[in-house]
Amino acid sequence: MNASPTEHLDLISHVIQLAIAPVFLLTAIGALLGVLANRLARAVDRAREIEALLEASGVRHADALRSEHAVCARRSAMILRSIALCVIAALLVCAVIVGLFVTAYYRWSPDLSRLVAAIFSCALLALIFGLLTFLREVYIATATLRFGAQVADPQPPKARSRRQG
């Protein structure tokens, strides 16, 4: 039985309506990936800065800098894990969208509704674990701030330069 063009348009518009929620989720994951990429860049930049400081001779607080470098490495690894989980979630959401279109448009395809539901559940699980990993990384970063306050020079650079001048 051949469907009329109007029936095809109705079917496609219905599938597009069903795919809107996963597309919004995909947009949110994309924004989260941008945040994670920025955090990774900052952690890597700080690690490189510490490496440069440690290569200089006569470094004060070398042990504290090595400890901070280890924390930067740990944070970077956690951010990478979070990025990987979020990318997996995004790919699975894309698979859900494709599955919705394939199931609706091609009548010869088997019913993929259970498979699409399972893939969407896996996407949400990957996103949950990605967010939990991100939360752990943020906790480590803030704990490092408290530790860094104990090691840092108590006066900001501008206050020192005004007193010296």
Position 24 scores a pLDDT of 92
Domain count, the chain: 1
Contact status, residue 126 vs residue 91, Cβ threshold 8 Å? no
Residue 162: inside a domain: no
Domain holding 76, by residue range, is 5-150
Give residue-wise pLDDT tens across range 64-123: 888 999 999 999 999 999 999 999 999 999 999 988 888 777 765 677 788 889 999 999
Contact status, residue 96 vs residue 89, Cβ threshold 8 Å? no
Per-residue confidence band for 48, with pLDDT thresholds at 50, 70 and 90: very high
With a pLDDT cut of 90, the percent of the chain lying above it is 47
Six-digit token string for 150: 């104990």
Residue 34: inside a domain: yes
Residue 165: inside a domain: no
Residue 97: inside a domain: yes
Q: What is the value of pTM for the model shown?
A: 0.77
Position 87 scores a pLDDT of 98
pLDDT above 60: residue 139 = yes
> Distance between CA 103 and CA 110 in Å, rounded?
7
